[in-house]
Each structure stands twice: as structure tokens, then as C-alpha cells.
Amino acid sequence: MVYNRIDTHFFSSRRFFYWLGTVLFSVIVLGPFILLLISTTKDLFRVGAEWLSLAIPSGRRLDIFLRSLGLALSVAIGAMIVGIFLASFLWQKRGRLWLYIRWFVLLLIAIPPYVHALAWMSTVGFIEGGLRSFGLSVLPFRGVFASWWVQLMALLPISIGMSLLGLETVNAEFIEASRMMKPDFETFKKVIFPLGAPLILAGGGIVFLLSLTDYSVPSLFQVNVYSLEIFAEFSASNEPGRAFLLAVPLLLITFIVMTFSQSRLRNAALKPVRLSKQENMSMSWPSWFLAGQRLGIMILAFQAFVPLMALMVKTGSLETFYKTGVSAYREIGFTFWNSILAALICLPLAFPVALNLGRKDRSGKFWWILVTLPLAIPAPLIGIGLILLFNRPILGFLYNSPVMIVFASLARFLPLAALIFLAQLRRIDPLLLDAARILQKNPLKTWIYIRLPMIFPGIIAAMCIMFIFSAGELGATLIVIPPGISTLTIRIYNYLHYGASEVVAGLCLMMSAAALFAAAAAALILHSWKRLVSLWRAKHS
Amino acid sequence: MSFRLWIKIVSLLFISLSLLTVFGCQQGKKQDRVCVIYASVDQNFSEPVLQHFQEKKKIRILPVYDVEATKTTGLVNRLIAEKDRPQADVFWSGEFAQTILLKEKDVLAPYLSPNAKNIPDLYKDPEGYWTGFSARARVLIVNTDLLTSQEYPASIFDLLQPRWPAEKIGIAYPVFGTTATHAAALYAFLGAEKARNFFQELYDRGVRVADGNATVRDLVSSGQLIMGLTDTDDACGAKRRGKPVDLVFLDQEENGLGTLLIPNTVAMVNGAPHHEEARILIDFLLSEDVEQRLIEAGWTHVPLRPLNIRQDCLENMDIKGMNISLQEVYQSFEYSKKELLEIFIR
């Protein structure tokens, strides 16, 4: 059990951190979930079994639920297909420029899906206007297709990132061996893709869940989805228990989706893999696959170009951009530090959980359930759960502090960080670890120069995702934010309602700039670290 | 020094520094005279008022602002969840239904402000748990490039007329926000059956159901819709920004239904940590000066007491409100939401 060996080796002498991380993860992520469960159970005893019917969708609710599943599934499939084409293209490309492009792909996660929707509505409106002037008419941009397209655009970076990570984990030696005997595409189909599939599927699973729990985009295009039903119920009844019960089908679906990817991911994680080599990979693809890659590149260009252009046009001038920044400097600063803190804290908390997720025994399966279920809980309910957990006399010092915003981000997105770490653990070469353990003189140096570089890409990826998602978090933050403080996202949504589109556009551009800064900093750190390690190795070899 | 010891020292230092930072922040805060307000009112309008209060009364205001995107599940639910250990002192809402709900959930405490004396009883809780002031109104926003003034509808029931294409008429989901309140008012005024039939016909016609009132405003402003139901603050905001829109108050004839007036409401939170400051803030918000500021800023448009103020966007317009009490509207709320959920979310 190589994976368990990694586990033991990494943490047997550092049980303190392992348990500290696991306990804190349990408190912050599982605490709100468990308290909501207890509160709902109490409600059920108080009200009777009448509420239980909420947990089983029927009639109108079943229709909406099935429609939501269909939409989320089609978004996930679309994102996976485009993600695979694009990842297979980017995967071959090495060098600094391509490294930057890879990080750039992640950037637009920072723009709220709602803003993607507004950008696409404006763009389509502009095209419609042009076509009308030639006497042509076009179909209105709304309904399921519009909703699918905008969600695809908003969530595509996740799928590309995970697909790329999946392809990167494939052992280069397997590829080389296969290429000697089979054509390139056969190698891709029979070796690379199956080995990368677990992470590609995990990416699809995350996209599926995010699409399933988002109501903002579908409702803008007049598509009623199940998450809107949950919000409508919560808004009408103000009973978290009723909303929680309505969310039960989403919990079950999350569990099924994650169990499906779990079985593959966990098996794959137990196989020893070596780090893939860094040289360029020149593959010859069939023409239809090349066409798919080109289509993927076009879609990616649209995905980045349309919202950024729409935002720049709406912002109008540099002066507006500057003024917007000055007026929101406190929110920008606060969001930036809050996101950095969340990104830093996620590391020691998510890593032990990733190790738990990789366990082959029953506890590993149990951890998968515990980690993935909170992903399906609507954000305001997580906020309510955090209030139940932290608004107590003994914890008052925490509840009234900005730390609660960090906790809200962690409660929502730590499971994603743990999944990314798990993916990274697959890339650790056990032979190298064994050699390091045998030859080590100073455990600290071994850890810094041998082990840390191996998990470094995972650390950076988890931090970036955490930073970007924390910056955009709204639902749970609003419920726990301490009085007197605001975040950039809250300000964006305030202005969205007010109708100041130039301010909204300027603020969204700033959010993208912050994400760009985070990605650039991450790339720089990664690059410097690699150089440092190679210099150190050269000196001591 | 061994690795293990080194790590332990670093982590102890980290934990100590974190605790010191958190406690330090708390200590710093305790020295000021503060008041915590949860405001379900657009930040653009409420923030200047609260800053003015801060400067005038030398009481530091710590606000939390709601956003429309959370579908009114934000601050109200936070207040309910915090009921046993309240953090807020004052709740200021842009409407009344959620405030009445908070009273029923025992979240509010009674306080009769001396500044509310000249506000009609219709807009105040008889037991003093909340007070209404300065109202917005429901309005039909029309795109003046697409509709001439002769073509404007006069009644809400005109929205069912085939003369205006249904797909060019917008309303927000009538289960959220002020559209839900408007729907509840129609249920209370017309009776459940008539109101249900109206909304069912509206839905069956295929009117565009938008994400929120702001979206209705944007769709009408951009010409994607001819007209839509929204609030005066949204419509006036678009008009102020030079969009080709006009405001039409429906059912204004002598025997007409009138339009729904939606007052702001302010209330003290039960167990407010800063009780005295909360009273001062409520008195301030209920002052005529604040009402004037809110109207001038464009948040509200209808003073609830005899004040000679009128927002420029509603110049020369007399608005006839629906003759119905806020309590009656609230009582229809749960039922109307339940029915409309079945009709509109499917």
C-alpha cells in the first residue's frame, strides 16, 4: 500500500499536525452541517413527519429537480468535452509562455457567473441589433440553451484545470512505451485518457455540483431550477430546517456523483506514479480531434474575451476604473487579505483530509461522504450553521471578528482544496521518498527540499482556487460578516441592484486583476522554488 | 533544536499572535460608542444617511448591508438565527413584510419613537415593535422608444390584454422581495381567487419572469422589454441615468385599486447590545430630515407625513395608494407565496 506508506511516512512523526488539521477541518466544514442536521431533526420532532415530504421531490418539484439535473449534467458533459480538447492541447505545450497561459485559464473563475450572464446578454443583444439592421431576425437568447451556455462559460476553467491536472499525472514512461507500439491517438485513447480520467471526472463532478446549486444564471434566463426552489422555500418560510430538507435530494446526488468519481480516483491514487517529464510532447492527432481542439481554443477565447471586453466597454474609461477602485479601496483590501488568509489556512487543514480521503479502508469511504456532502448545502444554510456553531458566549471573540468570513470561505471550499491535494498526492514518486528517507540527515531539509516540491503544484492550485472562490463568496459571508465590514463581492452585488453598470464592470475587472495577481504570484513562487531546489540539488550532488 | 520542537514553537507563536490580534480588535472596539444596524436597504442610499448620523451624533455605526441576490434570505434569517444572542441593535428594512415576520418570531423589541408621532397609524405597529416611514411605490416602467404615452396601460389588469405582447412585459418572481409583497397585497385586496386567476393568466400568457426588479428595469431600459413592474427607486434610477423610460402608476382613477406603497420600516432588536444608541438611531431615522434626504437621494418617493418634498422624477404626480393595512398584506403573505410558487416556479 504505497499510498498508506506515503501517509505514514509524511505524518507519523507529525501526528500533532495531522490531528490538528483533521479536527479543525471537522469543526469548520462539518460543524455547520452537523448542527443544521441536529436543528432539522429537532424541527421534525416539533412539527411532525409532515416536513419529511419536502425531502422527496414529487409532482412539480420532481419536474424541476429532473430539469436541474439535466441542465447540470449537460453543463458538466459540455465542460468535460471542451476541457479535454483544450487540456490535451495545453498539455503538450511547455515553456514559460504556456505556463502563464495555463494560469490565465483559471482567471475568469473570479468573475461571478451573473456577470458572465450580463456580458453575454449584452453581446448577443449587440449582435441581434446588427442582424436586425440587415432585416434578419434571431432567436431570443434565453431559456435552457442560454443558461447552459453561460454556465458552461463560467465553469469551464475548472474543467480545463482539472483535465490538465489529470493528463499531467499520467506517467511519462507509460506514454513513451505505448507510443513505441501504437499510434499517438491510440495511446491517448487507451493509456493517457483512462489514467487521467479520474481527475477529469472529478472536475466534471465539481462543475456538475456548482451548476446544480446555482440559481442566479438559470433564473436570469427564465429557467426554474431546484436551487431556486430551495431559496424560494427558505425565503417564504424562514425555516432553515425546511430548506435543509429540500436540499436532501441534492445531497444524495452529490454523494452519488462523488462516489462514482471516488471509486476511480481512490483506486488510481493507490497506484504508484512517477513525475512526468517536462519536455515537449508532440502528438499527432486525427483531423476530427484537431478540429475539436481548435473549437476548444475558440470557445476559450470567447470565454475570456466576451466578459473582459464587455466589462472594459462598460467601465468606459481608465478614470472610471480608478475612481471605482478608490471608492472601494477598503473592500478591495479586506477581500484581498481575507482571501489570502483563507488560501493559507486551507493548506494545513485540507492536507490531512486529503490523506484521509486516500485511505483504502472504510474510514476512507466515510471521509469521502463527510467531505463531499457539505458541497451541496446552499451557502446561506452554511452561514446559518456557522451562526449555530460560533454565536456562543465562549466563542464570541471569534464570532464578532473578521475571522468568520474566512471560516465561511473555508466551510464552503475546503472540500475542493482537499480534493486537489488528493490529486496531487498521486504525483508523488514513492521511490524518491524512500530514497530520501534512507539518506536523510536533517528531516527539516528533506521535507523542504524533497517532499515539499513534490506537493508544491497542489499547494499552489489549492491556494489559487481558495483565493478566487473566497473572493467571490457571497451567500455564507453575508450571514456571518461582522458589522462594519464589507467585501468586494457584496459591493458588486449592491451596485448590480442599483444599476450602476460601469461601477459593477470596474469592480469585476478589479476582481479579475486580483485573481491575475494571485495566479502570477503563484506562478512566480512555483518557478522560483523550482530554481532554488535545482540549485540546491546541483550544489549537493 | 529538533524539528519537532521547532515546529511546536512556531505553531504556539502563530496561535498566540492570532488570539492577540482577535482580542486586540475586540478591545479597540469596546472604547467607542457604537450601534450595530442590519440594513435591507440599498447601500448606496443607506450609507450616506448612516454616515451623517455618525458625524452628527458621534456614535460609530457598524452596518451590515443586505443584497438582492440572496433573495431576501440574508439578514432576516441572520437575525432569526442570532435571536438567542443578538448582535444587531437596529433593523432597517426597505419594506415591511419581513419586519412583521421578525416581530412574530420575537426578534424585535417595542420602542415608540417621539419622532413617529405624525406618521399615520396605518404605517405603525400598534404595539410599537416597528415603525414605517418614507415609502416607495410599485410602478410600471415603460420604454419610451417602444411605447408612446397614449399607449401606456392604465391598470394592472391591462397586462393581460393581448394588445401588448406578453413576451415584452416583465415582472420579477412574485415570491421574492417587493414583488412578493405586491402579490400579497393583491391577494388581500382582491381575494385569493381573483388574485390567483390574475397571476395564473399572467403566467399562461407568457410574460417574462425576471430574476428581480433590477433586472426588469434593465431589460426595459435596454429595450428588450416594452414594460415591466418594478419599484420606484429602480425606475427613477434608470430615468435619472438618462435611460429612455417613463413611470406609470397603475389604477389611479377615482374608484381604482391604487398602487402599493411600500414604506421603509425600522425596529429595535430584542436584547440589543447597545440599547441607548439604538434608540438614538431609530429617532434619527424617523426624523423628517432623514425622510427628506431619502427622497432627495431617490430611494423613496412618497412621504408618509405632511412634508412638502417630491422627488424630481415624480414631479406633478399624485400617487394613489392601495387602501389596505400592512398587517392585512402580511397576513396574505404566506398563502400567496405558496400559491405563486406553484404557478411561477415549475
Nearest chain A residue to B11 by CA: give it: A17
Per-residue confidence (pLDDT) for residue A11, from 0 to 100: 46
Helices A248-269 and A403-425 cross at an angle (nearest 10°) of 40
Per-residue confidence (pLDDT) for residue B59, from 0 to 100: 94
Domain that holds residue B248: 136-260+325-344
Q: From CA B294, how far away is CA A407, in angstroms rounded?
A: 36
Per-residue confidence (pLDDT) for residue B281, from 0 to 100: 96
Q: How far is A321 from chain B (nearest CA, A)?
A: 18
| B44·A494 Cβ contact <8 A | yes
Domain assignment of residue B227, yes or no? yes
| B77·A494 Cβ contact <8 A | no
| B211·A63 Cβ contact <8 A | no
CB B240 within 8 A of CB B217: no
B212 and B305 share one domain? no
Per-residue confidence (pLDDT) for residue A425, from 0 to 100: 76
Domain assignment of residue B237, yes or no? yes
CB-nearest to A216 from B4, B69, B73 is: B69
B253 and B304 share one domain? no
- Which residues of chain B lie closer than 8 angstroms to A246, CB-CB? none
| B67·A387 Cβ contact <8 A | no
Residue B96's CATH number: 3.40.190.10
Which of A224-238, A476-490, B43-57, B122-136 has the least mean pLDDT?
Answer: A224-238
> What pTM value is reported for the model?
0.82
Q: How far is B306 from chain A (nearest CA, A)?
A: 28
Domain assignment of residue B131, yes or no? yes
Domain assignment of residue B47, yes or no? yes
Helices A501-540 and A287-315 cross at an angle (nearest 10°) of 130
B43 and B178 share one domain? no
Per-residue confidence (pLDDT) for residue B147, from 0 to 100: 92
Helices A403-425 and A362-372 cross at an angle (nearest 10°) of 140
Helices B177-190 and B97-104 cross at an angle (nearest 10°) of 80
- Which residues of chain A lie closer than 8 angstroms to B176, CB-CB? 231-232, 235
Residue of A61, A238, A504 to mutate, testing the B interface (most B Cβ within 10 Å of its Cβ): A238
For residue A166, CA distances in Å to A257, A456, B103, B258, B287 come to: 18, 16, 54, 62, 63
Residues contacting A337, CB < 8 A, separation 6+: none
Q: Convert the pLDDT of each residue in A22-79 to its tens digit.
A: 889 999 999 999 999 998 898 888 887 778 888 888 888 899 999 999 999 999 999 9
Amino acid identity of residue A240, one-letter, is P
Domain assignment of residue B18, yes or no? no
Per-residue confidence (pLDDT) for residue A83, from 0 to 100: 93
Q: How far is A529 from chain B (nearest CA, A)?
A: 21
SS3 A317: coil
B103 and B217 share one domain? no
pLDDT band at B10 (very low <50, low <70, confident <90, very high): low
Nearest chain A residue to B5 by CA: give it: A14
Domain assignment of residue B39, yes or no? yes
Domain assignment of residue B10, yes or no? no
Per-residue confidence (pLDDT) for residue A266, from 0 to 100: 52
Q: Percent helix, strand, coil in chain A (nearest 5)?
A: 85, 0, 15
The rounded percent of chain B whose pLDDT value lies above 70 is: 88
Nearest chain B residue to A239 by CA: give it: B77
CATH class given for the domain over A2-540: mainly alpha
Q: From CA A420, how far away is CA B199, in angstroms rounded?
A: 48
Q: From CA B52, how far away is CA A130, in angstroms rounded?
A: 48
Nearest chain A residue to B217 by CA: give it: A499
B154 and B284 share one domain? no
Whether B44 shows a pLDDT value over 70: the answer reads: yes
Q: Is A219 part of the contact surface with chain B (CB cutoff 8 Å)? A: yes
pLDDT band at B231 (very low <50, low <70, confident <90, very high): very high
Per-residue confidence (pLDDT) for residue A78, from 0 to 100: 95
Instruction: Provide the sign of the torsion angle of the four alpha carbons B297, B301, B306, B312, taken in this order.
Output: positive
| A401·B176 Cβ contact <8 A | no
B76 and B222 share one domain? no
Amino acid identity of residue B80, one-letter, is I
Read off φ and ψ for residue A329, nearest 5 degrees. -60, -35
Per-residue confidence (pLDDT) for residue A526, from 0 to 100: 67
B173 and B278 share one domain? no
CB A213 within 8 A of CB A253: no
Domain assignment of residue B26, yes or no? no
Q: How far is B101 from chain A (nearest CA, A)?
A: 9
Per-residue confidence (pLDDT) for residue A7, from 0 to 100: 47
Under DSSP, the state recorded for B86 is: -
Residue of A225, A478, A481, A496 to mutate, testing the B interface (most B Cβ within 10 Å of its Cβ): A478
B145 and B214 share one domain? yes
| A479·B81 Cβ contact <8 A | yes
Instruction: Provide the 10 A C-beta neighbour count for residue A225.
Output: 27
Sort residue A484 into left (φ over 0), alpha (ψ -120 to 50) or beta: left
CB A108 within 8 A of CB A304: yes
Q: Which pLDDT tens digits describe chain A residue by residue (541 residues)?
A: 344 444 444 445 567 778 888 889 999 999 999 999 998 898 888 887 778 888 888 888 899 999 999 999 999 999 999 999 999 888 888 777 777 777 777 666 767 787 788 788 878 877 877 887 777 766 677 789 999 999 999 999 888 988 887 887 777 778 888 888 888 888 888 888 888 887 788 788 888 888 988 888 888 787 888 988 888 888 778 888 888 898 899 888 887 877 676 565 555 544 444 444 455 567 888 899 999 999 999 998 888 888 888 888 888 888 888 888 888 888 888 888 888 899 989 988 998 888 888 777 778 778 888 887 788 788 888 988 999 899 988 888 888 889 999 999 999 999 888 888 887 776 676 677 777 777 766 766 777 777 777 777 778 778 888 888 888 888 889 889 999 888 888 888 888 777 667 888 888 888 877 777 777 777 677 667 767 767 776 766 6
Listed by start position, the domains of chain A span: 2-540
- Which residues of chain B lie closer than 8 angstroms to A401, CB-CB? 22, 25-26
Nearest chain B residue to A404 by CA: give it: B22
Mean pLDDT for all residues in chain B: 87
B215 and B332 share one domain? yes
| B81·A490 Cβ contact <8 A | no
Exposure string of B206-233, with b = 16+ CB inside 10 Å and e = fewer, is ebbbbbbbbbbbbbbbebbbbbbbbbbb
Q: From CA B82, how far away is CA B38, in angstroms rounded?
A: 12
| B337·A490 Cβ contact <8 A | no
B108 and B196 share one domain? no
Nine cell digits for residue B189: 385586496
B59 and B193 share one domain? no
| A388·B81 Cβ contact <8 A | yes
C-alpha dihedral over B154, B155, B160, B164, to 10 degrees? 20
CB-nearest to B65 from A222, A442, A494 is: A494
Nine cell digits for residue A97: 509562455
B184 and B279 share one domain? no
The count of structural domains within chain B is 2
Residues contacting B260, CB < 8 A, separation 6+: B137, B138, B181, B182, B185, B321, B322, B329
ipTM: 0.79
C-alpha dihedral over A336, A380, B333, A38, to 10 degrees? -160
